[in-house]
Amino acid sequence: MYRYPRALEKLIHKLTQIPGIGRKTAQRIAFHVISMDEKKVKEIADAFLKARKNTRTCSICHNLSESDPCDICASKDRDSTKLCVVEKPIDVAAIESTGVFNGKYHVLGGVISAMDGVGAEDLNISDLGDRIKREGIKEVIIALNPTHEGEITAHYLISLLSNYKINITRIGIGLPIGGSLEYTDFVTIAEAIRSRKKIK
């Protein structure tokens, strides 16, 4: 049985550890990499290392940034009365691509999942109430992915936030059940933000 050279097989294996990359995709990437000029390969490897080294988490919103606070939290041009709660940093990028939301964000860092052993205490929820009081938030928009875990987390947040004198809304139509903001086109996301529904 034919086997790839050991170094190539190791590269393929490492690539499959990246979410969304299966064995076949990893093989295509690996074969492309070994056919590239060595200088280009070093540039790609260097970009990986620099991104890992220079990217940090904003202490206010928990989004990824090169500075703390991040540019969005530090901006005077954003509507600080509106706070959009999302699951992951990549969801911030998805919403920002639409250009329809000018408020600020709060990244949970995941969703409640009993199967994965993730509870509310494992997420960035404890400081949400402090932000509402400190920043004078008037509306919290819950923009979680329409999955089973996303629904559980959304209901938990609604219950928690109902103690505050704020409007609670959820992004509206357009997102399919089980879908993900990350893979949804910006027109659909923009419509979901515009058509958000008031919960409280």
Cis peptide before 5 (omega within 30 of 0): no
CATH node for 6-54: 1.10.8.420
- Whether residue 150 contacts residue 170, with contact meaning beta carbons closer than 8 Å, is answered with no
Predicted TM-score (pTM) of the model is 0.78
pLDDT digits (tens, 9 = 90+) for 53-96: 999 999 999 999 999 999 999 999 999 999 999 999 999 999 99
- Whether residue 114 contacts residue 139, with contact meaning beta carbons closer than 8 Å, is answered with no
Give the side-chain half-sphere CA count within 13 A for 198. Answer: 5
pLDDT digits (tens, 9 = 90+) for 154-192: 999 999 999 899 999 988 655 555 566 666 666 567 666
Structure token pair of residue 193: 């933000």
Between CA 14 and CA 9 the distance in angstroms is 9
Structure token pair of residue 84: 């959009």
CATH node for 59-198: 3.40.1360.10
pLDDT digits (tens, 9 = 90+) for 7-42: 999 999 999 999 899 999 999 999 999 999 999 999
Where in the chain do CATH 1.10.8.420 domains reside?
6-54
